[in-house]
Structure 1
Amino acid sequence: MASGEELSPAGKMLLEPSMNCYVIATIGLKTRIDPQVIREGLSQTLLKHSRFTSKLAKEGGKIKWIPTRVELEKHIIVPEIDSNIEDPDRFVEDYISHFTKTSLDQSKPLWEVHLLNIKTSNAEAVAIFRIHHSLGDGASLISLLLAVTRKTSDPHALPTVPTQNRDSSHHSSSQFSCFFAIWWGLLLIWHTLVDMLLSLLTIFFIRDTPTPLKGAPGVGLNIKRFVNRTVSMDDIKLVKNQMQTDLADMMAEKSKVKWGNRMGYIILPFHIALYEDPLEYIRKAKDRIDRKKHSLEAICSYTCSKAVHNLLGAKVAAAMTERLLLNTTIAFSNVAGPVEEISFYGHPVAYIAPTVYGLSNALTIHFQSYANKMTISLAVDPLVIPDPYLLCDDLEQSLKLITDAVQRKNIVDLV
């Protein structure tokens, strides 16, 4: 058997029993699924990626990705579904929730796809990928997803993702530019030191204020429920333009995205307060995010986690990460998706809803853009959050209050 690539430190940590983290990607489709077309498509694309044709095995005392023969029928599951199901949406949610009770067989590559020919409120059928997080991080996996899809308008063209306009302006005075660069660098160092100290204190001492969203120790191993809600990107862009914020640019065109798990964490404090102006929440959040952008916290947290793993082992690194998550309240993540409609092996895509389970939070929120929509995915512990639909309603209502406030402000400005 050929020797393969060694499992990364982050990958080993994500395999620890205390985490055992999985990625779930639900893809709503606008047509019924032809399983044979999907099988042929996967064999021509996904199976050409070494990580999806390798299994984990110990070799020379190290855990490595060992190339293996993939039996596609063991990775593609097409369940028989009663066409008279009373609540299809709930059926799909229960189906995905059941994943959290089981683990993938490590004697084969750690991924599978479930094809559900069931009409829901937002799709004619649903494809569900379950992938162990040790295979890659969010940027890697969304890159792979884009690689196996095509534009609906052009079946031979790869999707495009939003790119961020860079400010090309510069100061004319070289003396001022030099002073600004030195000050910018000093602030970057200071912010990074403060942020890393806060992270260290959060691991060992600081805990978030108890709220109804806070999970207890062991929450990462509990059964989870997954729900999602899709909102219009027009509303989000309206707020973005008014508040002059940036949309995430996770993968620029022609950029080289390295495969693997290169994940860093940022601790983003949000204070509980009640403002008369809904836009004040955005202003406060923007100030905090702008401050965090001027810091190397994410890079340093990844580097420190890797160092802890190399010095003390995966169990200690996993325990420290688990404690960091447990002492905070919510995990956020977002990935920029295609700007136009795409097809999944000839099946037009209605929405994309990624999420994870295995983290030590009672609530994890993912934001995924697609075409002119944003899907908000919630992974919740039902013992802590028994009604995730109400939380979706609250998030949607909050967006409406904010957009209404922007529109009122625009009208006043015109007057």
Structure 2
Amino acid sequence: MENIPNLHTLRSIRISTNEETCNGLKKGDNNHHEQPLSPMARLFHEPGSNVYIIGIMGSKTKICPDVFKENLVHTFLKNRRFSSLQVKNRENGSMKWIPTQVNIDDHVIIAKIDDDIKSSEKFIEDYIFNLSKSPIENTKPLWDLHILNIKTLETEGTCVFRFHHSLGDGMSLMNLLLACTRKVSDPQALPTLPGNNKSHVVVPSIWSRLIVLWNSFVALLMFVFTALFLQDTKTPMKGSIGVEHRPRRFVIRSVSRDDIKLVKQALNVTMNDVVLGVTQAGFYRYLHGRYSDMNNKLVGMPSNIRFRATFFFNLRATTKINDFTDTDTDGTWGNKIGYALLPFNIGFKKDPLDYVRDATATMKCKKASLEPLFTYFLAKIVLKLFGIKIAGKLNHKVFYNTTLWFSNVPGPQEEITFFGHKVAYLAPSCYGQPNALMIHVVSYLDKVTFVISADDETIPDPHKLCDDLEESLRAIKAAAQAV
């Protein structure tokens, strides 16, 4: 490996007190390298939007911390976002990226493993739970990496990345992580992601344009109503006020990608439609259990449940993996995500395939609208016209009035290594959002992984929710095989 470059070549700032850090550099300091945070990055420091992205990666071999540290210097630290402080000016609330000296040992934490561990999986789960209790100190760039060299059924070691959402959205950070990987079959080649191929341009008809305009208008009304007063039904999955300040339990469950493909082909739908259908069916199973008494009879379950997800869309044109620089000529960096308010039909269905059919119909409606673009540009307009505080409150109100966050990120189609370590699984998620639940779905090789981020007080049994998702897939698969 190449020698580690001198970290002191990065420009540093003189910070003598915490107050100076908050107020920025003193007048007269050389600040030509300073750059302001974008409005969207600044928004992620507001209450209710102060979100951290978690990336859990299982390794098939024991992790070598020194190898990770040396490679991080050549990758992460090439990007200004990962080698700069985010400094706030108390007078006007603005924030700037300030390049600083980086001590890699401050960002790579090696977990102490107890000798009397009864369950390694539970130890990792509890470690990440405790990690979500606290933010990263703003005296250093807002990211860190935790190495847990403990053997589980699937892995020899686990690493947990933590990034403040102001560094970038899920696609930006997945891009960064995957740029550090190589194919096992070709150690010089980057992995490939689904969706890189450009589709043919289709000229829409007048009727289809009218449908888009109508769906967008309806979505706009629902967004306004949600921002003003429209809340989801209070269920055992709906978080209470202040949920964003509580720690999260992260649970991972992988299912067969072939099972999802089987349903996809039987119904002629997309993989995403099947995943949403499975999720919808799993939610009904879970709520049925929470509302059932000792005799398995429903007690107090509402008949018409308003249950919506804030469903995130990547607004980038491609999912191409790029290098580590922050020159953003192709829109790689930043927070370029929009969202739609996605309703779930929570109820019993005699035919399990109806859960997938309902999800397909809902997604067709959302795809034939400008809702994700609308929410993205509305946030920018509110930021510009009314300021960061109002934009933050708007975000918080909309998110809190729904039940969960839902997101998915395409994963590699081939087996990969990360800094020479074979990867067993990838599991991204978040904490800090004003919802009690987040479902994040990522594909890798022959598996599709559901990552649950749950508030302990609201959802004390996230493993049961995973069981219900898995059982729902089995029922839907069996129904598809019978078609």
Q: Distance in 2 between matches of 1:15 and 1:130?
A: 15
Partner of 1:356: 430
Matching of residues 218-297 of structure 1 within 5 Å? 218-247=242-271, 251-253=318-320, 256-297=330-371
Equivalent position of 1:66 in the other structure: 98
CA displacement at 1:371 relative to structure 2:
1.2
Answer with 117-126 or 50-59: which moved more: 50-59
Q: CA offsets per residue over residues 265-317 of structure 1, 9 Å max, x none?
A: 10011122211110001001100101100011011101111111122222211
Q: What secondary structure, in the 3-state scheme, does the structure 2 residue paired with 1:131 have?
A: strand
Aligned pairs for 1:4-403 within 5 A? 4-58=34-88, 61=92, 62-163=94-195, 168=200, 181-247=205-271, 251-253=318-320, 256-403=330-477
CA positional deviation for 1:5:
2.9
Normalised to the residue count of structure 2, the TM-score between the two structures is 0.79
Structure 1 residues 307 and 213: alpha-carbon distance in aligned structure 2, compared to 1, 3 A threshold: same
Asked whether the 8 Å contact 1:8–1:261 carries over to 2, the reply is: no
Q: 1:165/1:41 Cα in 2 relative to 1: closer, same or farther (>3 Å)?
A: closer
Secondary structure at the residue paired with 2:482? helix
CA distance 1:169–1:406, change in 2 (3 Å): farther
SS in 2 for 1:268: strand
Q: Is the 8 A contact 1:23 1:354 kept in 2?
A: yes
Task: Judge conservation of contact 2:183–2:416 (CA < 8 Å) in 1.
Answer: yes
Kept in 2, the 8 Å contact 1:214–1:384? The answer is yes
Task: Give the Cα separation in 1 of the matches to 2:196 and 2:96.
Answer: 37
User: What's the secondary structure of 2:208's corresponding residue?
Assistant: helix
Summarize the alignment of residues 400-411 of structure 1 with structure 2, pairs less than 5 Å apart: 400-409=474-483
Match of 2:295 in 1: none
State the shift of 1:253 in Å: 4.2
Equivalent-residue separation in structure 1 for 2:321 and 2:254 (angstroms): 28
Distance in structure 2 (CA, Å) of the matches to 1:169 and 1:131: 36
Q: Which residue of structure 1 aligns with residue 299 of structure 2? A: none
Task: Please state how far the C-alpha of 1:86 moved relative to its aligned partner.
Answer: 0.8
Given that residues 196 and 320 in structure 2 are in contact (C-alpha distance below 8 angstroms), is that contact kept between their aligned partners in structure 1? no
Q: For the residues of structure 1 that align with 2:379 and 2:228, how far apart are their CA atoms?
A: 15
Indicate if the aligned counterparts of 1:162 and 1:339 stay in contact, CA closer than 8 A: yes
In 2, the alpha carbon distance for the partners of 1:5 and 1:369 equals: 36
More displaced 10-residue stretch of structure 1: 145-154 or 277-286: 145-154
How far does the alpha carbon of each residue in 1:38-72 deviate from its partner, in whole angstroms, 9 at most, with x for none? 11111111111121111111469531112112110
The alpha carbon displacement at 1:80 in A equals 2.3
Instruction: Give the length in aligned residue pairs.
Output: 401
Partner residue in 2 for 1:413: none
1:368–1:376 Cα contact (<8 Å) kept: yes
Counterpart residue identity of residue 312, structure 1: F
The code of the aligned residue for 2:99 comes to: P
Please, which runs of 5 or more residues in structure 2 have no aligned partner? 1-30, 273-312, 323-329
Aligned partner of residue 266 in structure 1, secondary structure: strand
SS at structure 2 position matched to 1:399: helix
SS of residue matched to 1:300: helix
- Aligned equivalents of 1:285 and 1:143: distance in 2? 28
Are the counterparts in 2 of residues 139 and 257 from structure 1 also a CA contact under 8 Å?
Answer: no
- Specify the code of the residue in structure 2 equivalent to 1:143: N
Q: How far did residue 144 of structure 1 move?
A: 0.8
1:87/1:327 CA distance change after superposition, 3 Å: same
Q: What is the deviation of 1:245?
A: 2.3
Separation of aligned partners in 1, 2:339 and 2:413? 27
Root-mean-square deviation over aligned CA pairs: 1.9
- The AA in structure 2 aligned to 1:160 is T
Q: Secondary structure at the match of 1:51?
A: helix
Provide closer, same or farther for how the CA distance between residues 240 and 4 of structure 1 changes in structure 2, counting only shifts above 3 A: farther
Shift of residue 349, structure 1, vs aligned partner: 0.3
Unpaired runs of 5+ residues, structure 1, are 171-176, 410-415
Q: Which amino acid aligns with 1:155?
A: P
Deviations 1:315-373 (A, max 9, x none): 21111111111111111000001001111101000000101011111110000111111
**Aligned residue identity for 1:120:** T
Give the TM-score taking structure 1 as reference length.
Answer: 0.92
TM superposition shift of 1:218: 1.0
Distance 1:263 1:7 in 2: 17
Report the alpha carbon displacement of residue 149 of structure 1 after superposing the two structures with TM: 0.7
